[in-house]
Amino acid sequence: MKVRAILKSLLFAYALTGVALLLLALVLFAFDLGETAVDAGIIIIYVLACFMGGFMAGRIVRKDKYLWGVITGLAYYGLLLTVSIMAKGGWDMSAAHAVTTFFMCTGGGTLGGMLS
Protein backbone atom coordinates (compact mmCIF):
# COMPACT_ATOMS: atom_id res chain seq x y z
CA MET A 1 0.00 0.00 0.00
CA LYS A 2 2.69 2.51 0.98
CA VAL A 3 4.95 1.67 -1.96
CA ARG A 4 1.99 2.07 -4.27
CA ALA A 5 1.21 5.47 -2.71
CA ILE A 6 4.80 6.61 -3.32
CA LEU A 7 4.71 5.37 -6.91
CA LYS A 8 1.40 7.13 -7.57
CA SER A 9 2.72 10.32 -6.00
CA LEU A 10 5.96 10.11 -7.97
CA LEU A 11 4.09 9.52 -11.23
CA PHE A 12 1.85 12.50 -10.48
CA ALA A 13 4.87 14.69 -9.66
CA TYR A 14 6.64 13.75 -12.89
CA ALA A 15 3.49 14.28 -14.96
CA LEU A 16 3.16 17.72 -13.39
CA THR A 17 6.84 18.36 -14.13
CA GLY A 18 6.39 17.40 -17.77
CA VAL A 19 3.39 19.66 -18.28
CA ALA A 20 5.04 22.56 -16.45
CA LEU A 21 8.28 22.22 -18.43
CA LEU A 22 6.31 22.21 -21.68
CA LEU A 23 4.54 25.39 -20.60
CA LEU A 24 7.88 26.93 -19.63
CA ALA A 25 9.28 26.05 -23.07
CA LEU A 26 6.26 27.66 -24.72
CA VAL A 27 6.69 30.82 -22.66
CA LEU A 28 10.41 30.82 -23.44
CA PHE A 29 9.68 30.50 -27.15
CA ALA A 30 6.96 33.16 -27.15
CA PHE A 31 8.69 35.80 -25.01
CA ASP A 32 12.40 35.05 -25.54
CA LEU A 33 13.18 34.98 -21.82
CA GLY A 34 16.71 35.13 -20.48
CA GLU A 35 18.62 32.35 -18.80
CA THR A 36 17.87 33.68 -15.30
CA ALA A 37 14.12 33.47 -15.83
CA VAL A 38 14.39 29.94 -17.19
CA ASP A 39 16.54 28.82 -14.25
CA ALA A 40 14.03 30.33 -11.81
CA GLY A 41 11.18 28.59 -13.64
CA ILE A 42 12.91 25.23 -13.41
CA ILE A 43 13.53 25.68 -9.68
CA ILE A 44 9.88 26.59 -9.12
CA ILE A 45 8.76 23.56 -11.12
CA TYR A 46 10.98 21.17 -9.11
CA VAL A 47 9.77 22.49 -5.77
CA LEU A 48 6.11 22.62 -6.82
CA ALA A 49 6.20 19.10 -8.27
CA CYS A 50 7.81 17.69 -5.12
CA PHE A 51 5.37 19.62 -2.96
CA MET A 52 2.39 18.20 -4.84
CA GLY A 53 3.88 14.68 -4.80
CA GLY A 54 4.46 14.88 -1.04
CA PHE A 55 0.97 16.30 -0.56
CA MET A 56 -0.53 13.42 -2.51
CA ALA A 57 1.52 10.82 -0.61
CA GLY A 58 0.44 12.32 2.71
CA ARG A 59 -3.21 12.23 1.65
CA ILE A 60 -2.99 8.60 0.57
CA VAL A 61 -1.02 7.20 3.54
CA ARG A 62 -2.55 9.46 6.25
CA LYS A 63 0.06 8.51 8.88
CA ASP A 64 3.52 10.06 9.32
CA LYS A 65 2.69 12.38 6.42
CA TYR A 66 5.95 14.34 6.56
CA LEU A 67 7.95 11.10 6.33
CA TRP A 68 6.13 10.02 3.18
CA GLY A 69 6.63 13.50 1.78
CA VAL A 70 10.38 13.17 2.41
CA ILE A 71 10.42 9.76 0.76
CA THR A 72 8.56 11.13 -2.26
CA GLY A 73 11.03 14.02 -2.54
CA LEU A 74 13.99 11.63 -2.24
CA ALA A 75 12.53 9.33 -4.90
CA TYR A 76 11.93 12.32 -7.18
CA TYR A 77 15.52 13.47 -6.71
CA GLY A 78 16.92 9.99 -7.22
CA LEU A 79 15.03 9.48 -10.45
CA LEU A 80 15.90 12.99 -11.63
CA LEU A 81 19.58 12.37 -10.96
CA THR A 82 19.52 8.95 -12.62
CA VAL A 83 17.84 10.21 -15.77
CA SER A 84 20.20 13.20 -15.91
CA ILE A 85 23.28 10.97 -15.65
CA MET A 86 21.92 8.57 -18.27
CA ALA A 87 21.04 11.38 -20.68
CA LYS A 88 24.41 13.11 -20.37
CA GLY A 89 26.46 9.90 -20.33
CA GLY A 90 27.98 10.71 -16.94
CA TRP A 91 28.06 13.13 -14.03
CA ASP A 92 27.79 16.64 -15.44
CA MET A 93 26.83 18.93 -12.56
CA SER A 94 28.61 20.65 -9.74
CA ALA A 95 28.34 19.35 -6.20
CA ALA A 96 26.67 22.61 -5.16
CA HIS A 97 23.97 22.15 -7.81
CA ALA A 98 23.39 18.53 -6.78
CA VAL A 99 23.10 19.45 -3.08
CA THR A 100 20.81 22.41 -3.80
CA THR A 101 18.53 20.25 -5.95
CA PHE A 102 18.51 17.57 -3.25
CA PHE A 103 17.31 20.03 -0.61
CA MET A 104 14.73 21.58 -2.95
CA CYS A 105 13.23 18.18 -3.74
CA THR A 106 13.24 16.80 -0.19
CA GLY A 107 12.09 20.14 1.27
CA GLY A 108 9.23 20.44 -1.21
CA GLY A 109 8.13 16.86 -0.58
CA THR A 110 8.35 17.31 3.20
CA LEU A 111 6.32 20.51 3.16
CA GLY A 112 3.71 18.91 0.93
CA GLY A 113 3.42 15.92 3.24
CA MET A 114 3.17 18.15 6.31
CA LEU A 115 0.40 20.29 4.82
CA SER A 116 -1.66 17.38 3.49
Give Cα 64 distance to the centre of its chain. 20
Task: Provide CB contacts within 8 A for 69, sequence distance 6+.
Answer: 53, 54, 55, 57, 58, 109, 110, 111, 112, 113, 114, 116
Question: What backbone phi and psi angles, to 5 degrees, belong to 37?
Answer: -65, -40
Contacts of 95 (CB under 8 A, 6+ apart): none
Q: How far is residue 107's CA from residue 83's CA, in Å, rounded to a whole number?
A: 21
Query: What contacts 25, CB < 8 A, 6 or more positions away?
Result: none
Distance separating alpha carbons of residues 103 and 95, to the nearest angstrom: 12
Sequence spans of domains, the chain: 2-115
Sequential pLDDT tens for the chain (116 residues): 789 999 999 999 999 999 999 999 999 989 988 889 999 999 999 999 999 999 999 999 988 898 999 999 999 999 999 999 999 888 888 899 999 999 999 999 999 999 99
Q: How far is CA 108 from CA 3, 35, 68, 95, 115, in A?
A: 19, 23, 12, 20, 11
Predicted model pTM: 0.91
